[in-house]
Amino acid sequence: MKKNNLLKFPFIFSMFLFLNINMLSCKQVNEDPGALSEKKEGDKTEVSNVAAEKSGYDIEVFTEGLYVPWSIVFTSPERMLVNERNGKIRIIENGVLKAEPLKEFSDISSGGEEGLMGLALDPDYVNNKLIYVSYAFDNGDELAVKVVRYKDNGDNLSDEKILFDNIPAERYHAGCRLRFGPDGKLYITTGDAGERGIVQDKNNLYGKILRVNSDGTIPQDNPFPGNPMWSTGHRNPQGIDWYPGTDIMYSTEHGPSGFDGPGGGDEVNVIVKGGNYGWPEVSHEQSMEGMVSPALVFTPAVAPASGMFYSSDSIPEFKNNFFFGCLRGNAIYRVIPDENNPSKVNSFEKLDGVDFGRIRDVAQGPDGAIYFSSSNKDGRGSVKKGDDKIYRIVKKK
Ligand SMILES: [Ca+2]
């Protein structure tokens, strides 16, 4: 019953709702949406300085002058790598953005939402220096996404190994987040690439979360033998992570845009092995036997572009919470799972003080700060001086 209540709650941007947010009590999910449901999508939420002052953190600019920073990873406490969507892996060392990229890809396609996207470190990076990237390219006939592994030599990459060069892509719904799970396997999110009619066929790579070994081979214990699919029925998932210390996986997913279903319906899902998440048969609050319903639904759209569990003690109130950046929503959301049953979402809130335009990746730093990137240069934002930027949330001093 409680879950039904969660599903029925349409999140609406509105000042009215915002004023009812109590930063740490997080009761939005239980509020009666009735009085709010007539608000229009264009309504703006304004960040309240009063609320931000009450919070236990500060937000600082970390780097600026980037172009659509899609993925952020730390290779050491001093060195960050950032994928810029138009094709460069940038190095930020001791807080300084280096002019020379680690690599610039010459075969990138970045005409719409696609481009240089996912970036992940091998679980044994400290010893083997392996990194993994995903990017869209034109294979001569059509767009596709490559997942490629390289050795990071500090100021260049070598030892290229292509894991996939055939993940379906389009200018829209091209995925493609990469992250290693606690099982040491590489997980890859793929979009429906505009072919939603075939997502339900498990024998293709459209609208899936894939799971492979770090060399691209298929693990023996995948749900279907010889198949890289871990879950299916996704429209365009772009954020995955695992509740700290468990194998419980959360994912964010973009809902329909009007042309392919009623607008909104963005999702937070708890991903289970072999699960079918419904697209395109069901979306929003609809359910169907054999398909997993979302833990949270956001209407109107917030456009969730990332996903990260926070595991540090640095900001104690955030420990074991799930965070994701929102493009259209111009926000970071904080999702609070039930600590006794982390597969269940207790509540969520919009993080106070985040008012920097479109937000894309969210990453935990080795220092316990939460780093996040703006995405105002992606063609849909309003570009501010110094964009795009990476910010960080640190405990209030
Ligand atoms: Ca779904």
What's the structural domain count of the chain?
A: 1
The whole-number pLDDT of residue 30 equals 29
**Ligand 1 centroid to 324 CA: how many Å?**
17
**Ligand 1 centroid to 68 CA: how many Å?**
27
Q: Which range of residues forms the domain containing residue 252?
A: 2-395
Whole-angstrom Cα distance, residue 277 to residue 295?
11
Residue 260's Cβ-count burial label (10 Å; 0-12, 13-18, 19+) is: middle
The whole-number pLDDT of residue 3 equals 39
**Ligand 1 centroid to 278 CA: how many Å?**
5
Backbone angles phi, psi at 52, to 5 degrees: -60, -35
The whole-number pLDDT of residue 7 equals 43
**Ligand 1 centroid to 236 CA: how many Å?**
10
Backbone angles phi, psi at 253, to 5 degrees: -150, 140
Q: Which residues pair with 209 in a beta bridge?
A: 189, 231
Closest CA to 261 of 317, 308, 301: 301
Q: Is 196 helix (H, G, I), strand (E, B) or coil?
A: helix
Amino acid code (one letter) for 349: E
**Ligand 1 centroid to 170 CA: how many Å?**
20
Q: Which residues pair with 144 in a beta bridge?
A: 137, 168
Q: What does the DSSP assignment read for 63-123?
A: E---S-EEEEEEEETTEEEEEETTTEEEEEETTEE-SS-SEE-SS---SSS-SEEEEEE-T
**Ligand 1 centroid to 268 CA: how many Å?**
9
- Contact present, 157 and 75 (Cβ < 8 Å): no
**Ligand 1 centroid to 78 CA: how many Å?**
38
Whole-angstrom Cα distance, residue 11 to residue 267?
11
The whole-number pLDDT of residue 55 equals 76
Read off the tokens for 122: 């091998």
Only one residue has tokens 């969730």, namely 304
The whole-number pLDDT of residue 53 equals 53
Q: What's this model's pTM, rounded to 2 decimal places?
A: 0.87
The whole-number pLDDT of residue 27 equals 30
Q: Is 125 helix (H, G, I), strand (E, B) or coil?
A: helix
**Ligand 1 centroid to 274 CA: how many Å?**
14
Question: Cα 21 to chain center, whole Å?
Answer: 24
**Ligand 1 centroid to 89 CA: how many Å?**
32
**Ligand 1 centroid to 361 CA: how many Å?**
21
CATH number at residue 367: 2.120.10.30
**Ligand 1 centroid to 283 CA: how many Å?**
5
Q: Could you check whether the bond before residue 326 is cis, i.e. omega within 30 degrees of 0? A: no
pLDDT tens readout for residues 354-389? 999 999 999 999 999 999 999 999 999 999 999 999
The whole-number pLDDT of residue 18 equals 35
**Ligand 1 centroid to 24 CA: how many Å?**
28
Amino acid code (one letter) for 32: D
Q: What does the DSSP assignment read for 153-185?
A: -SSSEEEEEEEEEEEE--SSS----EEE-TTS-
The whole-number pLDDT of residue 397 equals 84
Measured between alpha carbons, how far is residue 212 from residues 129, 163, 186, 298 in Å?
19, 9, 5, 30
Q: Is 223 helix (H, G, I), strand (E, B) or coil?
A: coil
The residues near 108 (Cβ < 8 Å, ≥ 6 apart) are 86, 87, 115, 116, 135, 136, 137
User: DSSP class of residue 43?
Assistant: P
Whole-angstrom Cα distance, residue 368 to residue 240?
19
- What string of pLDDT tens digits covers the 397 residues of the chain? 333 444 444 443 333 333 333 333 333 332 222 222 222 333 333 333 334 456 789 999 999 999 999 999 999 999 999 999 999 999 999 999 999 999 999 999 999 999 999 999 999 999 999 999 999 999 999 999 999 999 999 999 999 999 999 999 999 999 999 999 999 999 999 999 999 999 999 999 999 999 999 999 999 999 999 999 999 999 999 999 999 999 999 999 999 999 999 999 999 999 999 999 999 999 999 999 999 999 999 999 999 999 999 999 999 999 999 999 999 999 999 999 999 999 999 999 999 999 999 999 999 999 999 999 999 999 999 999 999 999 999 999 8
**Ligand 1 centroid to 9 CA: how many Å?**
15
**Ligand 1 centroid to 229 CA: how many Å?**
16
**Ligand 1 centroid to 389 CA: how many Å?**
31
pLDDT tens readout for residues 114-167? 999 999 999 999 999 999 999 999 999 999 999 999 999 999 999 999 999 999
**Ligand 1 centroid to 344 CA: how many Å?**
16
**Ligand 1 centroid to 6 CA: how many Å?**
14
